[in-house]
Amino acid sequence: ITTLRINTILENGAKPVVISKELPSATFEEYIKEGKMIWKQKSFVLEDLRTNGREEVDKIVDKCFVTLSDKDYELKKTIYQECLKLRIPITTTDCPELCTFTMLSTYVKGDFGLGITTSGKGCRLANRMKREIVNSIPSNIDKIIENIGTLKHKIQKEDNIEDEQLNDLIGGSEDDSMTTSK
């Protein structure tokens, strides 16, 4: 689970800070060498939530991903309560009651993105559903999305709809908004 979380964080362009006495995976040695992640070889303390974030947010962490075992439930609960006080979004493995957000099983290709969640009740089911859906999506979905975007822009241009006018329409340029054509 820790490996999946770290890879998701890296895929989204963030830099994870892992606090653990032992490195969760040998794969991460390379990430550490490349400066993609930070490993603090120590036991977690609540103060870590206030000291491992970015400078621009006074070192408060942006999000907290807890992957402790079931025997550490009280610590999970304590971390959750502290995150609530500090307004830090938290997700805790196998404890939906100790989460303020859930992880999506995601697929991204170009400008196409798909996310599925079971709200912490079955991540393997979410992954299987994602695989089933992805297998039914055309392999060139990224090109299809690009072509649709180009076509949408051309139609708006033909209709003489400027960005400012488009924003005045209901929903602006949102996908679910009203569509117009002369």
Cβ–Cβ under 8 Å, residues 104 and 125: no
Instruction: Indicate whether 113 pLDDT > 80.
Output: yes
Q: What is the mean pLDDT of residues 80-96?
A: 94
Instruction: Indicate whether 36 pLDDT > 50.
Output: yes
Q: What is the pLDDT of residue 182?
A: 44
Q: Which tens digit of pLDDT belongs to each residue from 52-74?
A: 999 999 999 999 999 899 999 99
Averaged pLDDT of the chain: 86
Q: What is the pLDDT of residue 56?
A: 95
Instruction: Indicate whether 170 pLDDT > 60.
Output: no
The residue among 67 and 87 whose pLDDT is bigger is 87
